[in-house]
Amino acid sequence: MRIIAGRWKGRALVAPPGLATRPTSDRARQAIFDQLWHAPWAGRTVVEDATVLDGFAGTGAMGLEALSRGAARAFFMEQDRAALSTLRANIAACKAGDACRVIAGDVTAPPIAAAPCTLVFLDPPYGKGLVPRALVALQAKGWIAPGALIIAETGRDEETVMPPGFEVLSTRDHGAARLSALRAAAHCGETAS
């Protein structure tokens, strides 16, 4: 597993042993960032200078990829001890500590936001309905900026109903994964459409 593009292109990332963490493949990560660069509802400015939240961070590959491509800073939320250790090692390998903050905790019960994030990645364990729960919890605690773009990875066959206030912009299948791009409503209490 490597950083695909940007200032850390080619930098190797490590994953924790075992099956508790399922990193997004290099190929799926490339597809996500290609879409962010070229989709009519996105563009390079979505990533460049963004404040990123990598929820269910695991190895931190999504947040580190965003930083490599020009994001300003990234918050990483993870609760698994082995994944946290690996995440911290990957941040150190990229010498990205000044732009990163690791939060050891549950994305579905987060602390109050340190800053609203304009780009959010959610890649929870499949089949547990965690994306909608995480969106509601993160929004309630101020982590999701108005108009933020969210990239959520779920199982391909997982039925996921997004909560009010989030517009589904795109859904694509990659192997066993379904990648959904969502836009948060521009104002609190507004329903995205």
* pLDDT tens profile 131-142: 999 999 999 999
Domain assignment present for residue 126? The answer is yes
> How far apart, in whole angstroms, are the C-alpha atoms of residue 160 and residue 166?
13
Domain assignment present for residue 70? The answer is yes
Angle at 4 between CA 15 and CA 103, to 5 degrees: 45
Two structure tokens written together for 58: 């695991």
- Give tens-digit pLDDT for 62-109: 999 999 999 999 999 999 999 999 999 999 999 999 999 999 999 999
Domain assignment present for residue 33? The answer is yes
> How far apart, in whole angstroms, are the C-alpha atoms of residue 57 and residue 141?
18
State the total domains in the chain.
1
Q: Is pLDDT of 52 > 90?
A: yes
Range of the domain at 42: 26-184
Domain assignment present for residue 180? The answer is yes
Domain assignment present for residue 21? The answer is no
> How far apart, in whole angstroms, are the C-alpha atoms of residue 192 and residue 189?
9
> How far apart, in whole angstroms, are the C-alpha atoms of residue 160 and residue 94?
34
Which residues pair with residue 2 across a beta bridge?
A: 12
Give the pLDDT band of residue 18 (cuts 50, 70, 90).
low
CATH code for position 151? 3.40.50.150
